[in-house]
Amino acid sequence: MKVEEINIKNELDILKQAKIFESKETTHSRILAYFLATKSDFSEKFLEKIGYKTKNIHNINVLTEKDNMDIFFESEDFVLVIENKYKDRNRKKQNSYSTKKEEDKNLKDQLKRYEKTIEDKYSNKKAIFVYLRPFLHKLDNKNWHALTYNEVLKILKNVNKSFYIVCSICPKRLLRHYYTT
What pLDDT, on the 0 to 100 scale, is given for residue 71? 95
Q: Are 23 and 176 in contact (CB under 8 A)?
A: no
Q: Identify the domain containing residue 166 by its residue range.
A: 4-180
What pLDDT, on the 0 to 100 scale, is given for residue 32? 86
CB burial string 58-94: b at 16+ within 10 A, e below:
eebebbbbbeebbbbbbbeebbbbbbbbbeeeeeeee
Q: Are 164 and 174 in contact (CB under 8 A)?
A: yes
* SS3 (DSSP) at 140: coil
State the Cα–Cα distance between residues 166 and 164, nearest whole angstrom.
5
What pLDDT, on the 0 to 100 scale, is given for residue 10? 38
What pLDDT, on the 0 to 100 scale, is given for residue 168? 61
The counts of H helices and E strands in the chain are 7, 6
What pLDDT, on the 0 to 100 scale, is given for residue 8? 45
State the Cα–Cα distance between residues 97 and 164, nearest whole angstrom.
47
How many domains are contained in the chain? 1
What pLDDT, on the 0 to 100 scale, is given for residue 90? 41
pLDDT averaged over 10-residue windows placed end to end, the chain, 181 residues: 48 46 71 82 88 80 92 93 73 52 82 96 95 80 88 82 62 58 53
